Structure 1
């Protein structure tokens, strides 16, 4: 039974008097139906302050691969909290975690720990520029690498300002950043090797790094087309450009060794966060010795009061323990639940005669509704930022608002995160709620458009 949102509404109004916008991250301001207040999570479920229960596919926006309040992670973290929170010095747990990451991750000869993915990206870009003596970084349109000034460009650019498809303009996402001309960031379309090849050929000796999400999780969970990442690796090697995989979302989610493990491609530097510690704040910059030794030797600055903070490191070790257990059974469980959901959603689309796009993987997938008049062939994927614009974001937002009221919490952007805690019952209940929400919100919208 749904209890309404009275307490959440009151809490948000109260928060706005002291918290800027009532939230601590601008992203949360866009939650549907509005920013809700939660008081506890367990396994695959969340409960809000009004007593409403939700099957949670937000999972902290990715970290909770083992579900909420995983016993092993909580126990390890609490045990360390009793022994000390921060030493501003070394401790043996950080060696243990570093050794684990180096064993598991293909490109990890050496690592450094921090707190947020954004700062780990910052470290990777600084390192690439220092190692090459070059300034320019290539990123891909529609990809997100944290909120810091030096890389927050062309995440969701206005298509009327974004320039040609194959030569996108570099557009700042926020006032207060340098404009595109001053940014030393070049934006290219994702999944199109010829444009990357051409740019690197024309600008030999100018490019420090190519940074990419190996799967474009922040826009429509777009998988790399066959050969795209392999070709990118070859081009970066040829031009002596540092290849950086931003695995903040894909790391320890797409496989134990992340996307680089799943696809068998070794970047030069990589960034982890989120799923590495199941909700504890920690990030990791890892890479091959050639580059990481510049940090090791103190030639490239890297610091932070909270780097390798003991409780978070303890939580990360416990998380990796759980992920490696029983021949990676956690991955099989999350994948199974996710693929059952994907199949079920596709089945609902057929049953209700709706044009639905579902793409990605069991552990993370995307759901979207094409805009009216967009002819998507059966099963045709979204392949880059520009094709993602064929999705009807307003209609999806309305669907999210409706399904939240039916006890299913999902991200307004279209991503669904799965955990090893999601059960067959969760999948069945979610599909039931999804069918009701589709009938309530989506079917009428398409019918109305057809009549118009």
Structure 2
């Protein structure tokens, strides 16, 4: 067993000054399991006691090149010597915007600092452009922590609410005004009939359909091959803005993100996470006509730290590496080895399972057979068994989220040797959990807090 005396002591200090000892609720794993990190390097993070973990959380996806990548750190270090914020456009903003446009094919870009800000502003732009107010989102998808879209997320839906034909928007937090629910229409992902019926009935009120092209918080479930083209056609027919939330998929599943990977163009796209390899930055990109809705004095988009030198210099360096090297291919090779190896281990252990997602962003459902198509399917998997295996891996130095709805993320720093070590420890963890007498087969689903 690993020892955490320094980590535990420091966490108790954290609890005195921060609610639950964390700055994001998702970081709290319980008083006995919440980690306090001292540093990261490549595919590894280290706690205060010097314990090393192979990291597949990667900050929930941003670290595409590996922790502390020298070229990114060096570019940021050089850039900030001349200052970091000027309330004016800088060369770093221009360079980063040009790279995004070249890689993704969007016409124009505006910067912000987090995925939450990007989706919030994208929704405002869509409403201003269409003159409508309602938005369609899909169950289990997460679009940031602002009030307008914090409904029916994976963590809010312990059990799906309402029928598949008429879902009920489920608020994910206290403190969100009830009236906002009137602006939200939630639907199951990959459900062609539900979307078409809803759009035909309510299109005059619908400003946007916002969608994670693959479910970033529901086991990385992939779209049906015709689902995204179907959304594109509906939005064209009814004058609705199609927003791709690529906060997780952008610059991770392809150089041009999900638009490139799935061959579908959105009207607006939000980016964050992998574009800065962990430095805080996000962006909204889209068609010129819609982006130009952002007019001074008419449609507000602002932020003191938007386009700051730290974030844009990091994006310039990260995107240059992603564009000109095989970094994404190396991350995918790691993911392919992991997906195959995990499936073989689970099969040998006699655990029915389904592996879903892209090699750079994937998950697996336990005691589940078939291909998952939406968030409701994830709720029928054995979330408790997944959590037990996850905690057993944690004790053995492999870190991934202990809820299958949050994907494993890979980076260019996850070498074949690192993957082999991961699979060996994963196999040990599965055997240890099964020795404890955990039943294999259909199980009562219990929710796991993060």
Paired residues of 2:252 and 2:360 also in contact (CA < 8 A): yes
Judged with a 3 Å threshold, the aligned counterparts in structure 2 of structure 1 residues 169 and 342 are, in CA distance, closer, same or farther, namely: same
Give the distance between the partners of 1:341 and 1:451, measured in 2 at CA: 25
Deviations 1:358-410 (A, max 9, x none): 2111101102312xxx6x2xxx2211011110112222111111101111011
Partner of 1:232: 231
Q: Gaps (5+ residues) in structure 1?
A: none
Paired residues of 1:32 and 1:397 also in contact (CA < 8 A): no
Deviations 1:222-256 (A, max 9, x none): 00011000001000110000000000000000101
Q: CA deviation at 1:298?
A: 4.7
Partner of 2:219: 220
Judged with a 3 Å threshold, the aligned counterparts in structure 2 of structure 1 residues 210 and 32 are, in CA distance, closer, same or farther, namely: farther
Aligned runs of 1:111-122 on 2, under 5 Å? Answer: 111-122=109-120
Cα RMSD after superposing both structures: 1.9
Partner of 2:303: 304
Q: Does 1:202 align with 2:192?
A: no
Q: 1:333 pairs with 330, 335, 341, which one?
A: 330
Partner of 1:416: 408
How many residues are treated as equivalent by the alignment? Answer: 441
Judged with a 3 Å threshold, the aligned counterparts in structure 2 of structure 1 residues 449 and 126 are, in CA distance, closer, same or farther, namely: closer
Partner of 1:153: 151
Deviations 1:159-184 (A, max 9, x none): 66710012210111111112377440
Give the distance between the partners of 1:346 and 1:296, measured in 2 at CA: 51
Q: CA deviation at 1:147?
A: 0.7
Partner of 1:34: 33
Paired residues of 2:365 and 2:378 also in contact (CA < 8 A): no
Aligned runs of 1:122-201 on 2, under 5 Å? Answer: 122-156=120-154, 157-158=156-157, 162-179=161-178, 182-201=181-200
Give the distance between the partners of 2:30 and 2:74, measured in 1 at CA: 31
Q: What is the DSSP-based 3-state SS (H/G/I as helix, E as strand, rest coil) of the residue aligned with 1:419?
A: coil
Paired residues of 2:382 and 2:442 also in contact (CA < 8 A): no
Deviations 1:166-212 (A, max 9, x none): 22101111111123774401001100111111111111311100000
Q: What is the DSSP-based 3-state SS (H/G/I as helix, E as strand, rest coil) of the residue aligned with 1:40?
A: strand
Aligned runs of 1:263-302 on 2, under 5 Å? Answer: 263-296=262-295, 298-302=297-301
Paired residues of 2:270 and 2:282 also in contact (CA < 8 A): yes
Q: CA deviation at 1:11?
A: 1.2
Paired residues of 1:352 and 1:443 also in contact (CA < 8 A): no
Q: Deviating runs (4+, > 6 A) in structure 1?
A: 448-452
Give the distance between the partners of 1:346 and 1:399, measured in 2 at CA: 14
Q: CA deviation at 1:412?
A: 1.7
Q: Does 1:439 align with 2:436?
A: no
TM-score by length of structure 2 reads 0.94
Q: What is the DSSP-based 3-state SS (H/G/I as helix, E as strand, rest coil) of the residue aligned with 1:243?
A: strand
